[in-house]
Amino acid sequence: MEINSINAAVLAKMFLNGAKNLEAKKEWINELNVFPVPDGDTGTNMSMTILSAAREVSVLEEPDMASIAKAISSGSLRGARGNSGVILSQLFRGFTKVIGKEQEITVPVLAAAFQKAVETAYKAVMKPKEGTILTVARGAADRAAEMAEETDDLVCFLDEVIKEAQRVLKKTPEMLPVLKQAGVVDSGGQGLVVILQGTFDALLGKEIDTTIEAGPSAQVRKITKETEAEIRFGYCTEFIIVLNHPLAEKEERNYKSFLESIGDSIVVVADDEIVKTHVHTNDPGLAIQEALTHGALSRIKIDNMREEHQERLIKDAQKVAAQQAADAAVQAADEAAQQELEYKEIGFIAVSAGDGLSEVFRGLGADYMIEGGQTMNPSTEDILNAVGKVPADHIFVLPNNKNIILAANQAAALSEEKQVHVIPTKTIPQGITALINFIPEQTAEENESRMLDEIQNVKTGQVTYAVRDTVIDDKEIRQDDYMGIGDQTILAVGRDLDEVTLQMAESMIDDDSAIVSIYYGEEVEEEAANAIAEKILAGHEDLEVEVQYGGQPIYYYLVSVE
């Protein structure tokens, strides 16, 4: 099969197929999150980003290259969520700058588009990190440039480009030690490979259903036999092989081929001593038997995905119903609040998860709250819409999460009528500190400078639980352990929530510390939070310790030290 050009109709199908392929595998990509927290979201963020663009493409009646390029670029830029989603949108932005000028796509055009995509994405990230989606994209672009010199056949061209992307993806654990320690490849890079595979399948005629829902995917399907049939392989099987001897390249290749013959969603990460294996299969025993020929097994984990799928659908239905009611209430409250706002020079938008935390921000002068945070990153368009609702010339945006900063910066770049200042707050406590240090009598620029300085003095710790076994920074973590996560690393791990929280707080306190603030989540009683505060005071009588209700989900405690 040889194909030398792609028209607009074929390109649209390829893009939609790539989006649907990512949507179908987003949960698997979420599981590749390095930190074993219950809110791994790379797959979700990338999927929601590309689906935003896919919806724009799907409504085009007679698309040409220019209209497809505009739909992909605009839809992904506005729908971008999280760092991975923003980077993906920038890849699309660069890609469409090239294809939008063409009538049809050939190998030279596609090679140039890949190159422009990488250039655009690298420029959008202040400090690009290798071993990520950027590295995988660059590897694909470099191979595309080489193949453009060797063939005019798009099938051969794309096949080689995807193989190179997979090869680079496999190497990401060697580029980022944290990936190797966790036994995973980069989740963003895996998402990009999944998209490329979906587009290639469409080019070959192996299309999945490319119907794109008209609105956000907040609908829940009924649990039926047909739904269960969507899961082709029923058992998620994971284990580590402690090797008898290092695998030769041929042995590793044969091992992967065997796994491919019995399942899918295969991840194999090998070094000289161990092999981390993940496979979805209908017969876990076959995978285990084959693995035993290479060594002893440890950390075996087998989950029935069909049962989990049913339970998740039920929970999703309940969650969606509750969320819709909450959203309606929040929207009504926001609309009422907007009517009372008077025009001013400087306004504030804060991202927050938890009614208590939102109340803290409102009390400090935030004009508009965006519900979101670690569990659901707001999109660029969410932030732009919020900017439009605040009656001020200068709008300060407090992302309060490192995974939202890029989306906020993208919103600032897209804002045309108002000057948007993004204070790169990585945590809720940093956002609170930024607002506390606002001085109305000073200019926006003076306030921005002060806030940027002050947020550097805030240490933040967050306590949640582990969703899987792993090792990070030489700390062995077991599923359901409590974890105290600091600004840079995991500070405490254990089976007792109070002990982990205290240990985390103690590791953050030093001779310069003056104030400790404890925000307790929706699953914590006030008495428990006060007890922790008293224990901190007992060892540090010179500290001021504050306890406030945060109401945040998933994270039992947020603790700040200043």
Over the stretch 449-462, which tens digit does the pLDDT of each residue have? 999 999 999 999 99
% of the chain beyond a pLDDT of 90: 60
Over the stretch 334-349, which tens digit does the pLDDT of each residue have? 555 555 556 889 999 9
More confident residue, 263 or 325: 263
Distance CA 353, CA 332 (A): 18
The number of beta carbons lying within 10 Å of the beta carbon of residue 371 is: 19
What confidence score (pLDDT) does residue 101 get? 94
What confidence score (pLDDT) does residue 221 get? 32
What global pTM score does this model have? 0.71
Q: Which two tokens stand for residue 349?
A: 């938008």
What confidence score (pLDDT) does residue 212 get? 61
First to last CA, the chain: 64
Report residue 9: phi and psi, to 5°. -65, -45
Contact 134, 161 (CB under 8 A): no
- Nearest Cα neighbor of 555 from 396, 350, 349, 400 is 400
Mean pLDDT estimate for the chain: 86
Over the stretch 18-56, which tens digit does the pLDDT of each residue have? 999 999 999 888 888 766 665 558 888 999 999 999 999
With bands split at pLDDT 50, 70 and 90, how would you rate the model's confidence at 220? very low
Over the stretch 128-162, which tens digit does the pLDDT of each residue have? 888 999 999 999 999 999 999 999 999 999 999 99
What confidence score (pLDDT) does residue 234 get? 82
- Region 118-131: mean pLDDT is 87
Residue 411 has pLDDT above 90, yes or no: yes
Residue 264 gets the label, from left (phi > 0), alpha (psi -120 to 50) or beta, of beta
Contact 155, 7 (CB under 8 A): no
% of the chain beyond a pLDDT of 70: 87
Distance CA 409, CA 423 (A): 9
Over the stretch 298-333, which tens digit does the pLDDT of each residue have? 878 888 877 766 665 565 566 556 655 655 665 555
Contact 491, 504 (CB under 8 A): yes
Contact 5, 105 (CB under 8 A): yes
Residue 281 has pLDDT above 60, yes or no: yes
What confidence score (pLDDT) does residue 226 get? 37
Among 175-184, 197-206, 415-424, the range scoring the smallest mean pLDDT is 175-184
Q: Where are the alpha helices (DSSP H) in 31-132?
A: 42-58, 65-79, 82-99, 107-124
Residue 355 has pLDDT above 60, yes or no: yes
Distance CA 122, CA 113 (A): 14
Q: Which two tokens stand for residue 399?
A: 């992302």
Could you tell me which residues are beta bridge partners of residue 517?
Answer: 546, 560
Residue 229 has pLDDT above 90, yes or no: no
